[in-house]
Amino acid sequence: MASYKLAADLRGEVGSSAATRLRRAGHIPAVIYSPERPPVTLQVNSLALDKAIQSTSSLIDLEVEGQKRPVLVKEVQRHPVKQNVLHVDFYEVSMDREIETTVSITLVGEDERADDEGVINQVMRELTVACLPMAIPEVYEVDISELGIGDSIYVEQLPALEGVRIIEDPDELIVSITLPTIEEEPEEEEDELLEGEEDMDAEGADDEEASDDDEE
């Protein structure tokens, strides 16, 4: 898997006020963590960071002061309303050491399915895998072209990828095909019963009015 290249600069000031000024200037505060080195505070161009996060590559070559450090995006903090990125944590990895990470699941073959009006229910959208950083798949494709109504695919049925181990319960459901839900219309008898009750209520109200008139 090809890595995504992203440049970052060391960040001098820290704290909420400094972070706010940084964002206004078009940069995002960040931290890079490493199992062998102390954390380093960084700043990254917001537009470049957005492209890196949206890319299909999980592995990023982060260039800091001319030095390339292979990292994964560990955590992204976003604004609760605007959803723009506020802060990002990077985790440095060793290229010769196996790591665990998540990979998006993509369904393929939907257009090749039989026209049975079945509803596709994707239960699992991410898969936890273990592999070397360069072996991280961009996505994990699940072929549903042969599935019919009542069929399902579980983790244990996924095809093996070279150098990749799946870290999930084999019995976990990924996708199933079900019948469409049909809303039942009220039966005519129920409608007639309701109409009869409304008529009785109306007659009872008329009788009460007549009784009141007699008393006057």
Q: How far apart are the first and last CA of the chain?
A: 93
The share of the chain scoring above pLDDT 90, in percent, equals 66
Q: What local confidence, expressed as pLDDT, does residue 55 receive? A: 83
Task: Summarize pLDDT for 77-107 with one digit per residue, the tens.
Answer: 999 999 999 999 999 999 999 999 999 999 9
Cα–Cα distance, 69 to 94 (Å, whole number):
9
Tell the burial category of 210 from Cβ atoms under 10 Å away from its Cβ (0-12, 13-18, 19+): exposed
pLDDT in tens, 140-183: 999 999 999 999 999 999 999 999 999 999 999 999 999 987 76
Tokens linked to 121 = 């229910």
Residues 90, 28 contacting (CB under 8 angstroms): no
